[in-house]
Structure 1
């Protein structure tokens, strides 16, 4: 994907018309409302591949009004009110000029320098001056900044662009350069949830979120294909067909922008907004502000003089779904009947209460302590505890056990320094990150200070007479950086009868869910191998969708015998396959078991008589592959056999008891003893 700057499509190279898009009503409305009121905070478009997300976003730029700018200003200052802090200013007598609205695309592999700008290296080396080279945030000012696959963008870059979008300014403090410039833009991000989610904290920074799906209606799908083929056959002719419809939308945007300051937000509707946000229990006040701005923009779009209930309903539908996520694994979205009920309840609260009932006995919401306790015996009357290993006569599986949600895992980290995909788990040599030192032979990118320092002592000998430095190729130093990489975390979970005691399995699954939550935050790929009954199963092939792993784990059934060796061998096969697909991504194997083995490996129709020996041999093979491993010992009771400890020794792994896995119990980072 291009990381350049493009103007709105012209007649010679027309893009797909905005008005020609079939369906996606909420997506189109969200973009238009942000075009009317950029203070809404942008749009996050979530959807499966092939749903025209990028097509709709790129088509929006053609509808935006032509921007009046100060001639020669790299920061697109408005001649009617130039930025007094513009790095190219002061603009005492600005010369007005115009340009089309820009669509700036930020690629997933962009660097921090490309986003916010950096020292102009050419001028620093040739003229000996500190000059700022603007980045994409400056180029996007008063236009559209589009981030495709925003969920795959580095977290620190997402934080930077969201901060700029929220404040309307970008601040740069680096390499001796201190700059602040205006950066007001319409931020649009697209993502495929199958490739991983954004953290809830980042989701909340987007003003509106829209889910898009391909239509299942045959007529709609037919019309989509018909229009696309017509566009590909004759782009100019197709664009001309929809030119009037696009021109009408563009005129409505201009009219709504002009009317926006005069739209009234009545106190009754403001109370309705507050009541709806309170009903959905959203965190903070950002949701209330976004709803208010969206409702005002929608009223202006309708041509109304004041906000009404329908404006609040539209705003709630677009602004609340992604803010309901408290946990990374909560499903985003709200049901339409929930929203309608909340609006009905809010209607009863639009007038101030003259005699509010104070919180306390007999008033307000019921205390949490009065809620039913879901931790007691189940409806069948069975005891919370299981009975251990199932009889040999069959695989008597038990229903899934709810994970213990109160578990917070400590950090597991692979020893050594890798070169894998950017993430937040283990140390890595990276193209981005903290610069440790300068080097002539190692590193990536030029280390400016190191280069200038190397050249400075030789300026007199090289005959320097002007302000610039004389730099030779031998002076160039590269930046040796250290960052963090993401890893493949493969869980091998014992689901046999010996693990099936309800309280123990609840703790085990709760611990693994907490580790998955940690993997989610650190951008890891995850996989899940389970073993019970007669064999092991790859319950989830390695994927970036950690949510899928949580769903499989929560549906995990237990019971039966313990094919520990088969579980380890299945894990090794999975790791070997992934190594071929992605050789630079290091793997961490997390084995969750009590160490008991009751099913031996079948080789050529012959079964061993020593299941534990088979498991230890399988562990030794994994250790020989150099896989970093952690064994979580789930054995409980007054008498401990220590089988998991023996397994950890054979794997060359770090051994932890289940209770030691909690960050609350033991602080610090656990580093696996082997580096892949």
Structure 2
């Protein structure tokens, strides 16, 4: 993480850093500390866009305010601008100055956070919780170095070059692959497991709390040297040569890892140049390319949401070896090495552990985020031993005596390849967070009227219409419009919302037939992928034996749900009533946490109820109770075979739910049926 942040500080063109890690690993602390190391910035005095006095932006909106003379510029420290998760688009990119527009009739642009972050550091904590269109705005500005605003009659473009750093906890949900690709570098960090290191962390924290000034003073000289090293590397950067051998090697490495597109090649090249400049070299070598590839490629190897980021370092070394030895550099007698000795070994400025030295040329024993991809993947090879009595056990479940346990736990069955499912939505018009599933009044979409809510986008026409009749009474003189707070109207926009998809999966013995469970897991995995694409939260309940289990509380991390599904065992009786009761309790708790997010209950079962006394009656009462709450439900009927009892269809009637046979979940099934009717 330290090296990635330093490389972006040396060359903001690298494209920023995404720091992925578990909670409590000092991600935010480290990022905020970087701002103090950045060199001071010379700006035009009075310019809201921080123009460089030596090369002011000719298209700067404040160019008319630029003063001349010796006092026209000033030097300030680099800014750290934090973007909160709840920020709106107009706060990020800026918007029309509403007060001046309404009172003085003046069209004036009010800069946003991107303008404030120009030539500084823009930090987004929990970037995975930020809405996708805002992430797109940030990444576009970081890549282009400019922000373009076209809204509310304002047409403005201004410079926006900054070091973009995002942090996230993967447990709270992943960024989509297309957004991951837009970050230049990514690192994955973990807290140390060694007691000695953990004790040292605690010792330093307590020392800082006891005497902040004294503790900081102990490291003042080291920070000064590090800041000088960043400045020297920036000055050295234009002189670094990226020759044909280095370019070919970078292309070979990126092609060998089969990354999509060419952005990986460009980012790796920029990061390698920055690494060479930080190391005090004037040419890019093997060590620089290896360090850059380890930071630029792991997150670009994800092909679907359930792939874990990682990099096979053995493959990386083989690809580098195949490119042959690097050319001998020309002697440069003027090259005196890195700043204060730190530049020759960019990874040696911190000697705490091997994990802080990813670019040293020798691989550490274990590096977070590197080479971990295969170990985190679900084993779907199907080579596990198969219980050939599963079919017989499943068939005997319906007729087994009430007190018998018809099936022991069977080994988990792997899911097949996910497919595109039908779109299942929640009925009515909601008001939840913006997403891509059900109809709702959201902050995005088309304007359909005026909203009674006190927050949201301004409805300018309705606001003027509300203020206009009162101008004479308010004593209006001359131009301009006198507007009061009571006149302000907000736009009501209809779009799509995200929902809570609660899966309630039957894992009893009647589902234990290998072929049937494979179909069930494939269907649920396909619906999970659909939920991921539509920005939903998901939860997972399983029921088997004598009880139900909340295997995964509601979360946006669908890949965790996929892993829990892959490890799902089967066997035992069917406690359908217990599963429905737990589903009702879970939905009730989630409604308290987030009353605006509407749920969709997806019950995956064949409708049998065989566990406990009066199993059928209890399950019917539980289904009727759930229907009384008004929750939108979907019953996926897993019953197969020539002779079917139709229990799931009856259960769907009690739940007032949509009934869908398992083989009709796929969107292709509907397409095929329509084509057959047309033919």
Partner of 1:74: 48
Q: Distance in 2 between matches of 1:265 and 1:294?
A: 11
Give the deviation of 1:138 after TM superposition. Answer: 0.6
CA contact (8 A) 2:407 2:509 kept: no
Q: Deviations over 1:346-381 (max 9, x none)?
A: 54999xxxxxxxxxxxxxxxxxxxxxxx99985758
Partner of 1:150: 127
Partner of 1:560: 572
SS at match of 1:264: coil
Give the deviation of 1:613 after TM superposition. Answer: 3.8
CA contact (8 A) 1:390 1:497 kept: no
Q: Distance in 2 between matches of 1:349 and 1:661?
A: 55
Q: 1:296 to 1:537 in 2, by over 3 A?
A: same
Give the deviation of 1:293 after TM superposition. Answer: 0.5
2:11 equivalent to 1:37? yes
CA contact (8 A) 2:17 2:166 kept: yes
SS at match of 2:424: strand
Partner of 2:59: 85
2:411 equivalent to 1:403? no
Partner of 1:358: none
Partner of 2:282: 305
Q: 1:389 to 1:343 in 2, by over 3 A?
A: farther
SS at match of 2:237: helix
Partner of 1:185: 162
Q: 1:250 to 1:378 in 2, by over 3 A?
A: closer
The 5 Å alignment of 1:267-346 reads 267-346=244-323
Q: What root-mean-square deviation, in Å, do the aligned CA atoms of Structure 1 and Structure 2 show?
A: 2.8
Partner of 1:570: 582
SS at match of 2:502: strand
Q: Deviations over 1:638-667 (max 9, x none)?
A: 333322111111001111122322233337
Give the deviation of 1:83 after TM superposition. Answer: 1.4
Q: 1:567 to 1:345 in 2, by over 3 A?
A: farther
The 5 Å alignment of 1:35-184 reads 35-89=9-63, 94=68, 95-184=72-161
CA contact (8 A) 2:605 2:635 kept: yes
Match of 2:461 among 449, 470, 482: 449
Normalized against structure 2, the TM-score is what?
Answer: 0.84
Give the deviation of 1:447 after TM superposition. Answer: 2.3
Q: 1:479 to 1:304 in 2, by over 3 A?
A: same
Give the deviation of 1:434 after TM superposition. Answer: 4.6
Q: Distance in 1 between matches of 2:136 and 2:381?
A: 43
SS at match of 1:414: coil
Partner of 2:481: 469
Q: 1:648 to 1:471 in 2, by over 3 A?
A: same
Give the deviation of 1:268 after TM superposition. Answer: 1.6
Q: Distance in 2 between matches of 1:376 and 1:638?
A: 30
2:269 equivalent to 1:257? no
Q: Distance in 1 between matches of 2:63 and 2:669?
A: 56
Partner of 2:243: 266
2:629 equivalent to 1:622? no
Q: 1:341 to 1:462 in 2, by over 3 A?
A: same
Q: 1:234 to 1:443 in 2, by over 3 A?
A: closer
Partner of 1:513: 525
Q: Distance in 1 between matches of 2:458 and 2:425?
A: 30
Aligned residue pair count: 612
CA contact (8 A) 1:436 1:481 kept: yes
Give the deviation of 1:86 after TM superposition. Answer: 1.3
Q: 1:625 to 1:400 in 2, by over 3 A?
A: same
Q: Deviations over 1:187-213 (max 9, x none)?
A: 000111111111111111111111111
Give the deviation of 1:182 after TM superposition. Answer: 1.0
Partner of 2:654: 650
CA contact (8 A) 1:377 1:384 kept: no
Q: Distance in 2 between matches of 1:169 and 1:384?
A: 65
Q: Distance in 1 between matches of 2:577 and 2:279?
A: 67
Match of 1:525 among 537, 541, 549: 537
SS at match of 2:670: coil
Partner of 2:665: 661
SS at match of 1:240: helix
CA contact (8 A) 1:422 1:485 kept: yes
Give the deviation of 1:431 after TM superposition. Answer: 5.3
SS at match of 1:647: helix
2:632 equivalent to 1:631? no
Q: 1:225 to 1:416 in 2, by over 3 A?
A: same
Match of 1:478 among 472, 490, 507: 490
Name which of structure 1's ranges 374-383 and 196-205 shifts more when overlaid on structure 2. 374-383
Give the deviation of 1:623 after TM superposition. Answer: 0.5
Q: 1:221 to 1:381 in 2, by over 3 A?
A: closer
Q: Distance in 1 between matches of 2:484 and 2:539?
A: 50
Give the deviation of 1:578 after TM superposition. Answer: 2.9
Give the deviation of 1:427 after TM superposition. Answer: 3.5
Q: Distance in 1 between matches of 2:456 and 2:7?
A: 42
Q: Deviations over 1:252-288 (max 9, x none)?
A: 1111111111111121222221111122111111111
Q: Distance in 2 between matches of 1:378 and 1:405?
A: 17
SS at match of 1:166: helix
Give the deviation of 1:617 after TM superposition. Answer: 2.3
Name which of structure 1's ranges 92-101 and 251-260 shifts more when overlaid on structure 2. 92-101
CA contact (8 A) 1:111 1:432 kept: no
Q: 1:440 to 1:579 in 2, by over 3 A?
A: closer
SS at match of 1:145: strand
Normalized against structure 1, the TM-score is what?
Answer: 0.84
Stretches of structure 2 lacking an aligned partner (at least 5 in a row): 328-378, 398-403, 673-679
CA contact (8 A) 1:390 1:559 kept: no
Q: Deviations over 1:214-272 (max 9, x none)?
A: 11222222222222222222222322222221111111111111111111112122222
Give the deviation of 1:344 after TM superposition. Answer: 3.0
CA contact (8 A) 1:426 1:485 kept: yes
Q: 1:171 to 1:589 in 2, by over 3 A?
A: same
Stretches of structure 1 lacking an aligned partner (at least 5 in a row): 1-26, 351-373, 669-676
SS at match of 2:539: strand
CA contact (8 A) 2:436 2:534 kept: yes
Q: Distance in 1 between matches of 2:386 and 2:216?
A: 68
Match of 1:244 among 221, 227, 237: 221
Q: Distance in 2 between matches of 1:286 and 1:168?
A: 16
Q: Distance in 1 between matches of 2:202 and 2:80?
A: 26
Q: 1:400 to 1:223 in 2, by over 3 A?
A: same
Q: Distance in 1 between matches of 2:434 and 2:493?
A: 13
2:605 equivalent to 1:593? yes
Give the deviation of 1:335 after TM superposition. Answer: 4.2
Partner of 2:202: 225
